Amino acid sequence: MKLWQKGTDVLKDIEQFTVGRDLIFDLELAPFDVLGSLAHIRMLAKVGLLDPKEEVQLRSALQHIYSTTIDGGFVIEAGMEDVHSQIEFMLTQRLGDMGKKIHSGRSRNDQVLVDLRLYFRHHLTALGEEIQALFNQLQHLSDRYKDVLLPGYTHMQVAMPSSFGLWFGAYAENLTDDMQQILCTYNIINQNPLGSAAGYGSSFPLDRVQTTQLLGFADLSYNVVHAQMGRGRTELFLSFALAGLGQTLNKLATDIVLYLNQNFGFIRFPDELTTGSSIMPHKKNPDVFELIRAKTNQLLALPAQITTLTTNLPSGYHRDFQLLKEYLFPALQEAHDVLSIACFALQHIHINPDILEDDKYQYLFSVEAVNREVLQGIPFRDAYRKIGQQIEAGAFNPDKEVNHSHQGSIGNLCNPEIKQKMERILHQFDFEKVREAERKLLE
């Protein structure tokens, strides 16, 4: 069944090529397509395009279909072009011609726009919760190991003292930036395109404000051409948010792989979190974090993939957009997976408390020595030269005490302030409003 078909059959090879893998991804859109239809029929009844009794029957049928999309019973049958066709077919099977009325005042273009925005909003909500869980874990580790020092590096050379409190805390605060970008993307996505039809509106007296409220959107995408042009732009903004999160997790995974190396020996994990070698019995490989690194590299490539696919397209709908699902849907799942496994693995990390006892780290304290000289009244450049000459002469014997007290330093991590920063960002989401709107649609 094809909603656009007028009596001429399409060649099977053409049909297979144009549909591609879309039916696989459309299964993920099914519950959101039903939610969009529930809001749409309620609006159609209000403006007189549906009889109130018809709306009640359609609502009941759609709610039943929604339950099948949640419990795994929903399928897109052979011969159906997409999820929209399947749902309309199921309605007409159950209610006859009444089922065909749900398409009044909308196009598959704004239908899929709504589906995607609801789908992306749902996943951004879940990502927000998962980021918060990882944030809490990192803050916990930062507080727990705030007094354990480790080397800080620049140019991959031993530089200055750092601490596990700083290291864990840095990634926690990185996640506040990622959450801010998630919030910005969420706000762009959380606008209602329904009623834009094929991108040029409808001659029906649609009430787009009502569907905005029913679906829990924060605002309306007013200009219908702007709403249609959201296809591709929405995915691009989302790709940047996922890439930003990917960059944080990529660097964390890279640090962990490095710190697990025997030549560093800063951390370790239980054997059950590592893998072995088929010929080297001593090996304990950090495969989890190597795969996090690889998967987040894919997230980092996402904006380039989306940009390449949508570059040089004029306004209006183009079938090119269909392929965006093939990039975004798996990427969202990868983001969920890496957040979940990273949070789980970090619960089992073991820290080496005596790293800096090794003599190779004695030069780590050269800046501390210079600063002590300055605090005694010696000009910085003279103090720098003095300590440098001691190092050159092999006479540098540092005091390994570190006294950092300014905000965000080893002795003043500001973890409560960073937590407040995260809470301020989270407070700006409207998760409860969205849940309440969806609950009312399904009553």
Q: Do the domain assignments include residue 96? A: yes
Shared-domain flag, residues 183 and 39: no
Task: Name the domain boundary from 78, 104, 130.
Answer: 104
Shared-domain flag, residues 87 and 194: no
Residue 432 pLDDT = 93
Shared-domain flag, residues 98 and 113: no
Residue 14 pLDDT = 62
Q: Do the domain assignments include residue 245? A: yes
Q: Do the domain assignments include residue 90? A: yes
Task: Name the domain boundary from 104, 122, 151.
Answer: 104
Shared-domain flag, residues 172 and 312: yes
Task: Name the domain boundary from 45, 75, 104.
Answer: 104
Q: pLDDT digit of tens for each residue in the chain (443 aa)?
A: 454 455 556 667 666 666 667 788 899 999 999 999 999 999 999 999 999 999 999 999 999 999 999 999 999 998 888 999 999 999 999 999 999 999 999 999 999 999 999 999 999 999 999 999 999 999 999 999 999 999 999 999 999 999 999 999 999 999 999 999 999 999 999 999 999 999 999 999 999 999 999 999 999 999 999 999 999 999 999 999 999 999 999 999 999 999 999 999 999 999 888 887 678 877 788 899 999 999 999 999 999 999 999 999 999 889 899 899 999 999 999 999 999 999 999 999 999 999 998 988 989 989 888 999 899 999 999 999 999 999 899 898 888 888 889 999 999 999 999 999 999 999 999 999 999 999 999 98
Residue 4 pLDDT = 42
Shared-domain flag, residues 199 and 347: yes
User: DSSP of 201-241, one letter per residue?
Assistant: --SS---HHHHHHHTT-SEE--SHHHHHTHHHHHHHHHHHH
Shared-domain flag, residues 278 and 319: yes
Q: Do the domain assignments include residue 84? A: yes
- Whole-number Å distance between alpha carbons of 397 and 377: 21
- Whole-number Å distance between alpha carbons of 123 and 267: 33
In sequence order, the β-bridge partners of residue 151 are: 161
Residue 11 pLDDT = 66
Estimate the crossing angle of helix 22-46 against helix 324-346, to 10 degrees.
Answer: 100
Displacement of CA 175 from its chain's centroid (Å): 11
CATH at 19: 1.10.275.10
CATH at 117: 1.20.200.10
Shared-domain flag, residues 118 and 63: no
Question: Which of 305, 174, 185, 186 lies closest to 245 in space, CA to CA?
Answer: 174
Residues spanned by the domain of 44:
12-104
Q: How many domains does the chain have?
A: 2
Shared-domain flag, residues 255 and 279: yes
Shared-domain flag, residues 162 and 278: yes
Q: Do the domain assignments include residue 312? A: yes
Q: Do the domain assignments include residue 210? A: no
Shared-domain flag, residues 99 and 116: no
